[in-house]
Amino acid sequence: MIARRSFLKWGTATPLILSQLIGGAAAGATAQNTLVVLDGFAPSIDHARMAIVLDAFARKGLPVTCVVDPELHEEASTVLKTRLEQFPGLIQVVPLVKELGSMTPYFQARAAYEAQRALKNALWKAEDAPSVVSNQTIACDMRDRPLAPSGVRAAGIRNVLMRPHASSPVRPEAWEDGVVRILGGQRIKLLPAHKPYSFPQLQAVERVYYLSAQDFLTLPLASLESAATAFASQVLNQPGDDWVSPILASDIQFRDAYSYKRNLGLHFVLKPKATDQDRKAVMAFQQELAADGKPSSFGLDTTLEPISCYWISLKEDHSSRGPVDVLKHSQQTLASPSRSILNAAYGVGARLVTGAEAGLTPQNILSLPAVPIREATALSEPLTTALGTRDCVLMISAELVQQKAHRALLKNALRTIGDDGISHFVAFPDYVRKLVPTGPYITHFRRTQAFKPQISETPGHQSGEARAQLLADAKVAWSYFEKWTNPKTGLCPATVNFAPGHQRLHESVTMWDVGSHIFALMAAVDLELISPKKFQNSIGRILPHLAGRRSQGRLLPQGWIATDKFKWGNRNFDGCDAGRLLSALYNLDIHPLVKDRAAPTVATWDLRDVVKDGIVYSVEDGQLETTFRSHCAHYAAWAFRTWGIEVASPYEVLQGRSLPDGQMALLEVCGHIGPLGAEPLLMEGLEFGMSPESAYLADALFAAQIEEYVETGQLVSVSETPINSPPWFLYQGLQFDAPGRVWATDTVAGLKAHRTQAFRDRHLSISSKSAYLWASHKDHPLCDKLLSLVRNEAKTPYGFAPSINKRTGSASRTYSDINTNAVILQAIAAMLRIEA
């Protein structure tokens, strides 16, 4: 036999590469485990030829694993189903999920669940299909640097075949959760019967041969059977001291020392009307089992009510001696658990099922295979014949522990199973924790789910005292514009350092800044900080500066303009900044005091010329640069759409998916983009109304900020912000692709030095404008704490300082900026607009 796999623990992030550890073959005759895999089941194949080859392999006793698209063509389905019935143990059909190696754990679990369902339906329709659901194997395409297969175990998958497009060395990987992944193999074409094959000599790992059903057309039909027979003979009778051990893919872990173990959950179920005496009897028997090394759990029988499942806490130190919590859910979405459950930990819904696919359902319910034991007759013989080798839960009726004789039978049956060498008993909650997918995105999803009941309230009517405070804050913010707006141009500088003797105005402003100025003016007139006439005059002075410049045949608003000169700026164009400006002009155009004033200006711009295939582009030195991989792209898309220009958004991935799937996909999109902050996320709600995508991301960000405060006592409120030292401007946000809660930083330059922990420690800050944005979006005590902090620390003689440094706890009291004060004015106007 092949040398024993002598290892005790496998790495979590890095698998054990078995070929590197075994070295060479053992002395003497050895068994060479050999897999023959047939793929290429395209609709165009000749199904009669496929049947001839499979029959020839079966007659020679050569097992073959067929890798198929789950949406199997009807003719191929008929051929495969017939042979599954005729040749049990010699043919296996496993689903192919081509991109499984690039999927994160959640979507691995989802894809494996859906693939098994689709394959079962294609082969067996409404019939039971034990040969399909118990094979524990899935296939995917090879790729460079594939992600760990850490999500497939939730669907009962223990073996993953990564099929090569061209021949490559076989590399088995053993993962800590018990999954084995076989990468590579030899690509072979069937040859005429008289031609020999060049098979590799004895190797320390499995031989894997891949045949494609599409290649069968290259041989004459009359000679196909003899060719297949000759191939099978040569595979089974290879020269040398080793002997061939042909196996199906599902047998990989059983034929070699991969230390195969399966989890066996022990769970007692009570009827809804169970008495205290029933519960005490179960708990007493649980203690007996625990003394015998068999932990267990109990709870109400959720199979009696289709809308119920169990709520399993995933907190590492969570333990409970009481019954497992029951959770009711709808067909489409998982309802929020009770606050008492949420206060314990994050969790997942789990449902025990019989005769259905295991795995993560579209509703984010973990569907788990169960073996119900409701009567004493089920205990008269060992249960191993019913259980097989897959993970499952013994769902034992609590009524069986009421009699001493039944308890003895049950204990004996469990001892028999425990002696099978592969079964590991666990309580049902621990069973779930061992299988449920984990990872950064899933953690953010579960946190948001856990805190949802706390953050569902939106701001209501303000008390008289609160309104007075907010109006006073608005006056502070407006003082920035009163002091620094250039009396000649009507424009306001982007930032101002007004330290005595060191006054410096950053005179140029972007389209984003001008949009903020327009929003500030609308808020000021709505709050009666300025008169309608002054508002109209101010708007009338700003609009001419937006005429734009023509470059490369396009008339576009300029990337930046000078505030101390008339209609002077560069020829660049920023697609994200344009979104802010277009949003401001849209809201300006519907304002009753200046209705339809902005439309003529927008109509002159060649905005459609910078939209290609639904994506907004910036123009930098005459070159088009995409803005799609940016958190402003969704906000900009809404702004462009208000002016009749259809633009795509990277956030819009919810359609066509279940709600949990869509939310997870959205978190992954954000993880690929970068840190997510409050701006422009929450601005959308003020200016257009919140889209479902932004509403969910806002919940995810706010939930993390609440958890940070609960666990550490530290206030966090991240957004993009200028700072009064190099590098002068920061992007701050929650990093979704990082474990835990990482409050990341980045800059326009995108330097690695600006993303380090040391840099974050120096510069991470609480954004003043984001505090007001959150107060306009959520009714939560954390919002009050943030507002109080900003009021106490960030007021300056001319507006609010942009941020409060977390390390020092102080703000730059002689430094302010246009966007901070404009957004604060926007948010306050929205809060005070609510009628008493």
| Mean of pLDDT values over 390-407 | 91
Q: Give pLDDT, residue 125.
A: 74
* Residue-averaged pLDDT of the chain: 89
Q: Write down the pLDDT at residue 129.
A: 56
Q: Where are the domains of the chain?
A: 32-255, 262-437, 464-832
Task: Answer whether 581's CB lies under 8 Å from 632's CB.
Answer: no
Place of tokens 């028999």: 416
The 10s digit of each residue's pLDDT in 534-587 is: 999 999 999 999 999 998 889 999 989 999 888 777 889 999 999 999 999 999
Residue type, position 489, single letter: T
Q: What band does 341 get if pLDDT is binned at 50, 70 and 90?
A: very low
> What is the per-residue pLDDT for 11?
32
pLDDT digits (tens, 9 = 90+) for 774-813: 999 999 999 999 999 999 999 999 999 999 999 999 999 9
Inform me whether the pLDDT recorded for 727 exceeds 80: yes
Question: In angstroms, rounded to a whole number, what is the distance separating the alpha carbons of residues 158 and 237?
Answer: 29
pLDDT of 342: 41
Q: Per-residue confidence at 2, pLDDT binned at 50, 70, 90?
A: very low
pLDDT number for residue 320: 57
SS3 content of the chain, % helix, strand, coil (to 5): 40, 20, 40
* Domain 464-832 in the same topology as domain 262-437: no
Asked if pLDDT for residue 317 goes beyond 80, the answer is no
Domain 262-437 has CATH 3.40.50: no
Q: Is 663 helix (H, G, I), strand (E, B) or coil?
A: helix
Whether residue 1 is predicted with pLDDT greater than 80 in this model: the reply is: no
Residue 601, judged by CB atoms within 10 A of its CB (0-12, 13-18, 19+), counts as middle
pLDDT at site 314: 86
Which of 11-20, 205-214, 763-772 has the lowest average pLDDT?
Answer: 11-20
**What are 383's two structure tokens?**
């249960």
- What dotted CATH number matches 32-255? 3.20.20.370
What is the structure's pLDDT at 37? 98
pLDDT exceeds cutoff 70 at 340: no
As a whole number, mean pLDDT of residues 391-406 equals 91
Question: Residue 230 above 50 pLDDT?
Answer: yes
pLDDT tens by residue, 53-87: 999 999 999 999 999 999 888 889 999 999 999 99
Reported confidence tier of residue 14, pLDDT bands at 50, 70, 90 = low
Q: How many CA atoms lie within 13 A of 212 on its CB side?
A: 19
Rounded Cα gap, residues 323 and 276, in angstroms: 12
| Cα 623 from Cα 205, distance rounded (Å) | 53
Residue 336 has pLDDT above 50, yes or no: no
Of residues 369 and 1, the one with the higher pLDDT is 369
| Res 18 pLDDT > 60 | no
Residue 19, phi then psi, degrees to nearest 5: -65, -20
Buried-state track 249-269, b at ≥16 Cβ within 10 A, e below 16: bbbbbebbebebebbbbbbbb
Beta bridge partners of 270: 300
Q: Alpha-carbon dihedral of residues 342, 347, 348, 350, nearest 10 degrees?
A: -90
Q: Which long-range contacts (CB under 8 A, 24 or more apart) does 195-202 make?
A: 196/234, 197/231, 197/234, 197/235, 199/234, 199/235, 199/238, 201/240, 202/25, 202/30, 202/32, 202/240, 202/241, 202/242
Neighbours of 117 (CB within 10 A): 18
pLDDT tops 90 at residue 16: no
pLDDT digits (tens, 9 = 90+) for 484-513: 999 999 999 999 999 988 889 998 999 999
Q: What is the per-residue pLDDT for 119? A: 92
Q: Which has the minimum average pLDDT: 574-583, 616-625, 688-697?
A: 616-625
The count of other CB atoms within 10 Å of the CB of residue 419 is 10
Q: Minimum mean pLDDT among 2-11, 92-101, 269-278, 814-823: which range?
A: 2-11
Q: Quick one: what percent of the chain has pLDDT higher than 70?
A: 90
Q: Is residue 696's pLDDT more than 80?
A: yes
pLDDT digits (tens, 9 = 90+) for 130-187: 544 457 999 999 999 999 999 999 999 999 999 999 999 999 999 998 999 999 999 9
Assign 199 a pLDDT band (cuts: 50, 70, 90): confident
Q: Which of 353-367, 382-396, 620-634, 639-653 has the lowest mean pLDDT?
A: 382-396
CB 318, CB 340: distance < 8 Å? no
Which are the contacts of 640, defined by CB distance < 8 A and separation ≥ 6?
578, 579, 582, 607, 611, 616, 646, 647
- Round to whole Å and give the CA distance between 140 and 101: 7
Q: What is the pTM of this model?
A: 0.91
**CATH (one of 1.10.150.170, 3.30.565.10, 1.50.10.140, 3.40.640.10) for 464-832:** 1.50.10.140
Q: Count other Cβ atoms within 10 Å, centred on residue 547.
A: 13
Lowest mean pLDDT among 21-35, 242-256, 417-431, 661-675: 21-35
Tell me how far apart the alpha carbons of residues 676 and 736 are, in angstroms, rounded to a whole number: 8
Quick one: pLDDT at residue 779? 94
742 CB burial (10 A radius; 0-12, 13-18, 19+): middle
Q: Looking at residues 180-204, what average pLDDT do you find?
A: 89
CA dist., res. 709 & res. 346, Å (int): 17
